[in-house]
């Protein structure tokens, strides 16, 4: 009898292990399909010229020879927008996460944490409209030129606003996962709270904080809708913080909607490039991270 | 962090995660031993830092308030004209200027709920596999690959959904569901209608795919943060691996799991492009899972750029955004209560 | 008027003697006197007018005016016109143009808020939108047609033939009163075909679109029930059907959905070689759309010779259902919008040089720019419309003074 029960429990455990594996497979099917679709449809555009040539003229069924290209400046624009928005959102987001986890665990801190969650649910297009409205209001009040409403900076601001709550909440969760005993031990040694938080708790939670930051970067790296109202477009990519900027997602969005085969292939190939950029960013940040970590533990 | 080779994934530098990491090596305690001056500076820094993070924290409230103000300003023409009727009208007619938000509220809630129903078990499964089951050499790269799903731009999800997922749903999944589950008495209505592929169910599936990486990677980090002694204690009591995970690990990580689910929910509620491409965009109350519908976010994506400035029409669209804000608040409250209870019950059983 | 008078006057005068000679020989002396008198009078009027500044706007039109240094211009709006616009601004060298295809409504918002130099929209400004942006001008810069596309598996059409439809049947299909392909009114229009019994899957645009505007305008004039129940706009409250985003969404949905029907801009259908239906025109002929038949339809339509001024109300302009025997009935304009007096609209920071850049670019799009239309399957503007556009551009001024125009790029 007892043996039976043990066998059943063991069997249940195996079944469960199988189910989790199934979940992984289920999650990988769409990714494979998306990458394959993008590769399949973008293949004609994938060549050296795709990165070096300007966007070619649209090529309809009336034309016989179609050329491809134009992704270069938009890669630059996207990288700059990601960098600018990360510079704004990651430090602020992490500090807010610290507040929520270390200083605001009850009372108003809970309310702030709650509204951070609410902000993650604001559609990105609404964030774009929001930044556009505020920037325009500000320009009109200060007597500036309304045409300055479109800039890389306002695009980055919109992206940062999308990123901020994601970074803040993941940081909060990451810090809360650090056992209280760690904080108590440090405080008992007479280390001031801010040092405990920054040097010990944050260091311990750093991998998870990085996950949050990367999730935020990945989320905004693919956003087109808010950029339509803020960064606008720029065939030259990035030409200055106060100038409009082009970005890959808006390029993909614009080209895909047109009826021209070469532009549609360009759109798919650009999607592939965008995913690749994200992979590189993830891996690179991981390498930097482990190196920093090794240096810290190397001093032991 | 999923991308880490497994060694780097343990948030605690020490091998035994249960024991606190102790002060990092480069801040040896004696250095901090208080001289009065040092102590004063320390206290000063302490309050400055506290002030800084508190101010930034309150910045979130300011941001939320600013959102409401800006949206209310934009929605003003519509707020004035329709008042509370906006919330109870189910007609959306730009030609005759009759606007009501009911169909979109239902579409939003329905798609997000179904997306969570699909995504939460799968994401938990992924997170558990990565932390508890997978061989160590595999979990790092696999975590990266799953997280890549978050790197796919939502526009691309939309295109892919439209050309790959929609036909698949129409030709295989939906007739299959209709022929099996749809035959169960009482469920016929839920799976009723002609499957066309662009409908509530398909957009829910694509939302689920989009939020799986968010939920699973945040969940995985919470599971990783569970101290090892927690697992060892359960195993030493003779628990199987599943029992250990269920009783010792998931319960311990429940706060992080709730956080992950709510993050995913936020994304589902606010996603525009992918939903727009797959939901069928009909401004009506969906009758079944195979009906066309519209979420508030897809409504905004579809119609904001065609509504003229300052019109009642534009006002109504922005008011819909305001309603979405309210829904997000409401849904967050409910989700916190609900998920908290479910996990507590599961953990306590 | 002002655009043609100075050039028109001399030929008019030289025509006159030939006409006179053809008449009686005896009065030839008097005729010569009259001709000389007329010529003298015309010359005096022209010279006086020149002096008084009557022809100020076109006195600067000749290519003798020099091109200003290029500046950067921004435009936003219509996604439909984006490929043509792209072709234009990459070809044109007189200015650097940065155009973002955000959608027609946002194009109107942007030009109203003065965040761009020009907006582009597939639907004209409503009177309310016009009041909202005082001093705004609009002019057609291209035209399009709406094709009816469908997916009827196993129905074989004779060469050069297609499904026949008309406004009334289309209205009933999109109202949901004709639900099956072999329904009598539809079958009657297609005597040679065996249409299936299957239900019609109606597809329509979900996003606001000029194509929807033109199509629903066509349905409104064909069916009073449509006009009262639904009406016409860039987005309407569709009684039936599935909404797909963008032309690409529509085309994809029809391609993969059997027994479906939809409307899409002709440009999209032609570029992707999608099969479309023949639509009955007012003469009772069933016409398959083409770029040239649409251009001739617009030229034939009663409104095309009677277009409003750039400052006028275009929301009632209807170039559909032209009377010609070969004219395709569902045609539409797409518009550019800009300010008559950029100085007054944007303030003193808007330089005359920039205003010159703007007017030169706009001028180029309706002249040289039109030659790129056909290759991309856009409809070339008929000359009557170009003439109306020239009047609109000539009416632009910079703080009251005419803006010098030059052919640049």
* pLDDT tens digits, one per residue of C143-168: 999 999 999 998 888 888 899 999 99
Nearest CA in chain A to B135: A21
CB contact under 8 A, A37 and B241: no
- Residue B172's Cα: distance from chain center in Å? 28
- Quote the minimal CA–CA distance from B200 to chain C in Å: 12
- Quote the minimal CA–CA distance from C150 to chain A in Å: 17
The sign one gets for the Cα dihedral C114, C117, C121, C127 is: positive
- Quote the minimal CA–CA distance from B222 to chain A in Å: 7
Identify the chains in contact with B, defined as 3+ C-beta pairs within 8 A.
A, C
By the CB < 8 Å criterion, does C93 face chain A?
Answer: no
Note the pLDDT of residue B252.
85
CB contact under 8 A, C208 and B277: no
Q: Is the pLDDT of residue B30 over 50?
A: no
Identify the chains in contact with A, defined as 3+ C-beta pairs within 8 A.
B, C
pLDDT-derived band at A93 (thresholds 50, 70, 90) equals very high
By the CB < 8 Å criterion, does B158 face chain A?
Answer: no
Q: Is the pLDDT of residue B24 over 50?
A: no
Nearest CA in chain C to B91: C237
> Hey, how many other C-beta atoms are within 10 angstroms of the C-beta on C384?
15
pLDDT-derived band at C39 (thresholds 50, 70, 90) equals low
Nearest CA in chain C to B93: C237
**Structural domains of chain B in order of their starting residue, each with its CATH number:** 75-178+187-348 (1.10.3720.10)
Mutation to test the C interface, candidates B302, B305, B307, B320, most C Cβ within 10 Å: B305
Asked if C81 contacts C298 with a C-beta cutoff of 8 angstroms, the reply is no
Longest C-alpha distance within chain A, in Å? 85
By residue count, chain A amounts to 300
By the CB < 8 Å criterion, does B280 face chain C?
Answer: yes
Q: How high is the mean pLDDT of chain B? A: 84
pLDDT tens digits for range B321-332: 999 999 999 988
Note the pLDDT of residue A298.
54
- Quote the minimal CA–CA distance from B261 to chain C in Å: 29
CB contact under 8 A, C86 and A257: no
Q: Is the pLDDT of residue C131 over 70?
A: yes
The residue behind tokens 């469960």 is A16
Note the pLDDT of residue A94.
96
Mutation to test the B interface, candidates C108, C206, C235, most B Cβ within 10 Å: C206
Nearest CA in chain C to A234: C98
pLDDT tens digits for range B104-149: 999 999 999 999 999 999 999 999 999 988 888 888 888 888 878 8
Note the pLDDT of residue C65.
67
Average pLDDT over residues C191-217: 92
Q: How high is the mean pLDDT of chain A? A: 89
CB contact under 8 A, B307 and C102: no
By the CB < 8 Å criterion, does C6 face chain B?
Answer: no
Average pLDDT over residues C170-176: 97
Cα angle C280, C286, C290; round to 5: 100
Stated pTM of the model: 0.85
Query: What are the beta bridge partners of residue C244?
Result: C205
Q: Could you tell me which of C135, C133, B240, C245 has the C-alpha nearest to residue A125? A: C245
pLDDT tens digits for range C369-380: 999 998 889 999
CB contact under 8 A, B308 and C108: yes
Nearest CA in chain B to A283: B3
Residues of A in contact with B266 (CB under 8 A): 117-121, 165
CB contact under 8 A, B243 and A9: yes
Asked if B278 contacts B206 with a C-beta cutoff of 8 angstroms, the reply is yes
Mutation to test the A interface, candidates B34, B40, B49, B325, most A Cβ within 10 Å: B49
Residues of A in contact with C349 (CB under 8 A): 145
CB contact under 8 A, A95 and B157: no
For residue B78, give every residue at least 6 positions away whose Cβ sits within 8 Å of its Cβ, in sequence order, or none. Answer: B86, B99, B312, B315, B316, B318, B319
pLDDT tens digits for range C395-406: 999 999 999 998
Note the pLDDT of residue C32.
60
CB contact under 8 A, B59 and A96: yes
Mutation to test the A interface, candidates B56, B131, B328, most A Cβ within 10 Å: B56
Choose the closest CB to B306 out of C126, C234, C252: C234
Note the pLDDT of residue B25.
44
Nearest CA in chain A to C378: A60
- Quote the minimal CA–CA distance from A146 to chain C in Å: 5
- Quote the minimal CA–CA distance from A43 to chain C in Å: 19
Q: What percent of chain C has pLDDT over 70?
A: 84
CB contact under 8 A, A229 and C106: yes
CB contact under 8 A, B306 and C132: no
* Torsions phi, psi for C142 (to 5 deg): -160, 175
CB contact under 8 A, A207 and B142: no
What architecture (CATH level 2) is domain A76-247? Orthogonal Bundle (1.10)
Average pLDDT over residues A84-96: 96
Longest C-alpha distance within chain C, in Å? 81
CA–CA distance, C155 with C196 (Å, rounded to integer): 8
SS3 label, residue C276: strand
pLDDT tens digits for range B219-263: 998 898 888 888 999 989 888 888 888 888 888 888 888 889 988
Note the pLDDT of residue C99.
93
Residues of A in contact with B226 (CB under 8 A): 177
CB contact under 8 A, A229 and C117: no
Task: Write down the domain spans for chain A.
Answer: 76-247
Q: Is the pLDDT of residue C384 over 60?
A: yes
Asked if C20 contacts C31 with a C-beta cutoff of 8 angstroms, the reply is yes
CB contact under 8 A, A60 and C117: no
Q: Is the pLDDT of residue A161 over 90?
A: yes
Query: What are the beta bridge partners of residue C98?
Result: C74
Choose the closest CB to C245 out of B92, B277, B309: B277
pLDDT-derived band at A207 (thresholds 50, 70, 90) equals confident
Q: What number of C-beta contacts closer than 8 Å exist between B and C?
A: 112
Residues of B in contact with C257 (CB under 8 A): 170, 196-197
Cα angle C264, C266, C268; round to 5: 70
Asked if A168 contacts A117 with a C-beta cutoff of 8 angstroms, the reply is no
For residue C284, give every residue at least 6 positions away whose Cβ sits within 8 Å of its Cβ, in sequence order, or none. Answer: none
Average pLDDT over residues C247-256: 89
The sign one gets for the Cα dihedral B76, B80, B81, B87 is: positive
DSSP assignment letter at A190: T
> Hey, how many other C-beta atoms are within 10 angstroms of the C-beta on A10?
13
Choose the closest CB to C115 out of A58, A62, A147: A147
Q: Could you tell me which of C207, C202, C203 has the C-alpha nearest to residue C122? A: C207
Strand ranges inside A13-77, DSSP E:
none
Q: What's the complex ipTM?
A: 0.90
Note the pLDDT of residue C382.
92
Q: Is the pLDDT of residue C315 over 60?
A: yes
């Amino acid at each position: 009898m007892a043996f039976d029960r043990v066998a059943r429990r063991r069997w249940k455990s195996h079944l469960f292990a199988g189910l989790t594996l199934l979940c992984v497979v289920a999650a990988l099917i769409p990714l494979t399909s998306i990458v394959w679709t993008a590769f399949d449809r973008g293949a004609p555009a994938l060549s050296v010229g795709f990165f070096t040539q300007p966007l070619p003229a649209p090529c309809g069924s009336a034309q016989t020879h179609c050329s491809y290209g134009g992704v270069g400046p938009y890669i630059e624009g996207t990288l700059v927008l990601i960098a600018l928005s990360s510079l704004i959102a990651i430090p602020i987001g992490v500090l807010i996460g610290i507040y929520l986890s270390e200083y605001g665990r009850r009372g108003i801190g809970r309310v702030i944490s709650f509204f951070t969650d609410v902000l993650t649910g604001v559609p990105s297009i609404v964030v774009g409209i929001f930044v556009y409205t505020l920037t325009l209001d500000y320009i009109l009040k200060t007597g500036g030129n309304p045409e300055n409403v479109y800039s890389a900076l306002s695009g980055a601001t919109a992206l940062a606003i999308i990123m901020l709550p994601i970074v803040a909440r993941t940081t909060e969760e990451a810090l809360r996962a650090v056992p209280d005993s760690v904080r108590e031990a440090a405080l008992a040694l007479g280390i001031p709270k801010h040092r405990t938080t920054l040097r010990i708790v944050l260091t311990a939670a750093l991998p998870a904080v990085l996950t949050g930051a990367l999730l935020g970067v990945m989320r905004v790296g693919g956003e087109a809708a808010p950029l339509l109202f803020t960064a606008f477009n720029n065939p030259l990519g990035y030409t200055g913080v106060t100038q409009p900027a082009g970005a890959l997602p808006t390029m993909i969005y614009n080209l895909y909607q047109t009826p021209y085969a070469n532009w549609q292939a360009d759109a798919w190939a650009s999607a592939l490039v965008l995913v690749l950029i994200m992979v590189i960013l993830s891996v690179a940040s991981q390498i930097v991270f482990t190196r920093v970590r090794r240096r810290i533990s190397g001093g032991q | 962090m999923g991308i880490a080779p497994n060694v780097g994934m343990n948030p605690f530098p020490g091998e035994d995660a249960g024991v606190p990491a102790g002060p990092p090596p480069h801040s040896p305690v004696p250095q901090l031993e208080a001289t009065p001056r040092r102590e004063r500076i320390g206290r000063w820094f302490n309050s400055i830092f506290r002030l800084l993070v508190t101010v930034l924290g309150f910045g979130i409230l300011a941001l939320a308030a600013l959102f409401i103000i800006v949206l209310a300003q934009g929605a003003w023409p519509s707020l004035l004209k329709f008042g509370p009727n906006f919330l109870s009208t189910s007609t959306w007619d730009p030609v005759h200027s009759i606007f009501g938000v009911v169909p979109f509220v239902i579409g939003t809630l329905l798609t997000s709920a179904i997306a969570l129903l699909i995504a939460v078990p799968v994401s938990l499964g992924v997170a558990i596999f990565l932390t508890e089951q997978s061989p160590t050499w595999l979990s790092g790269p696999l975590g990266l690959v799953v997280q890549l799903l978050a790197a796919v731009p939502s526009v691309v999800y939309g295109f892919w959904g439209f050309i790959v997922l929609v036909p698949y749903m129409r030709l295989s999944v939906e007739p299959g569901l209709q022929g099996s589950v749809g035959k169960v008495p009482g469920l016929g209505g839920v799976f009723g209608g002609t499957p066309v592929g662009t409908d509530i169910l398909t957009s829910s599936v694509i939302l689920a795919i989009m939020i799986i990486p968010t939920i699973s990677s945040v969940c995985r980090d919470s599971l990783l943060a569970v101290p090892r002694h927690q697992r060892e204690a359960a195993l030493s009591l003779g628990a199987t691996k599943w029992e250990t995970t269920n009783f010792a690990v998931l319960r311990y990580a429940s706060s992080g799991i709730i956080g992950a689910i709510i993050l995913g929910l936020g994304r589902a509620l606010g996603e525009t492009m992918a939903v727009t491409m797959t939901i069928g965009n009909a401004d009506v109350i969906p009758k079944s899972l195979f009906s066309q519908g519209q979420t508030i976010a897809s409504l905004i994506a579809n119609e904001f750029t065609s509504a003229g400035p300052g019109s009642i029409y534009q006002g109504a669209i922005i008011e819909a955004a305001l309603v979405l804000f309210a829904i997000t608040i409401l849904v967050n409250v409910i989700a916190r209560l609900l998920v908290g209870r479910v996990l507590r019950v599961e953990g306590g059983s | 008027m002002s655009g043609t008078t100075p050039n028109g006057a001399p030929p008019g005068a030289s025509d006159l003697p030939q006409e006179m000679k053809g008449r009686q020989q005896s009065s030839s002396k008097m005729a010569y006197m009259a001709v000389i008198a007329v010529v003298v009078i015309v010359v005096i009027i022209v010279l006086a007018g020149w002096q008084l500044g009557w022809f100020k706007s076109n006195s600067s039109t000749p290519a003798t005016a020099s091109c200003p240094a290029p500046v950067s211009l921004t435009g936003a709006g219509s996604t439909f016109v984006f490929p043509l616009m792209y072709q234009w601004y990459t070809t044109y060298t007189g200015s650097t143009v940065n155009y973002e295809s955000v959608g027609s409504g946002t194009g109107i918002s942007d030009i109203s808020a003065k965040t761009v130099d020009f907006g582009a929209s597939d639907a004209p400004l409503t009177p309310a939108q016009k009041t909202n942006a005082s001093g705004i001008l609009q002019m057609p810069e291209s035209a399009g047609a709406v094709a009816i596309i469908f997916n009827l598996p196993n129905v074989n059409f004779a060469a050069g033939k297609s499904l026949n439809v008309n406004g009334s049947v289309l209205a009933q299909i999109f109202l949901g009163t004709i639900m099956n392909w072999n329904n009598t009114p539809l079958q009657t229009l297609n005597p040679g075909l065996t249409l299936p019994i299957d239900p019609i899957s109606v597809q329509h645009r979900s996003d606001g679109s000029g194509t929807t505007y033109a199509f629903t305008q066509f349905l409104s004039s064909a069916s009073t029930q449509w006009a009262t129940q639904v009406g016409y706009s860039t987005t309407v409250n569709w009684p039936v059907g599935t909404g797909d985003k963008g032309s690409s969404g529509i085309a994809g949905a029809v391609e993969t959905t059997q027994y479906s029907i939809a409307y899409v801009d002709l440009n999209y259908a032609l570029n992707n070689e999608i099969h479309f239906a023949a639509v009955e025109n007012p003469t009772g002929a069933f016409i398959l759309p083409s770029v040239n038949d649409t251009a001739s339809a617009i030229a034939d339509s009663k409104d095309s010779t009677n277009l409003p001024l750039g400052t006028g109300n275009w929301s009632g302009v209807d170039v559909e259902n032209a009377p010609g025997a070969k004219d395709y009935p569902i045609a539409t304009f797409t518009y550019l919008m800009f300010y008559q007096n950029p100085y007054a609209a944007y303030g003193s920071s808007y330089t005359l040089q920039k205003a010159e850049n703007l007017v030169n670019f706009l001028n180029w799009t309706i002249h040289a720019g039109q030659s790129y239309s056909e290759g991309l399957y856009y409809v070339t503007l008929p000359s009557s419309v170009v003439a109306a556009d020239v009047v609109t551009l000539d009416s632009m001024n910079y703080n009251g003074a005419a803006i010098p125009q030059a052919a640049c790029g």
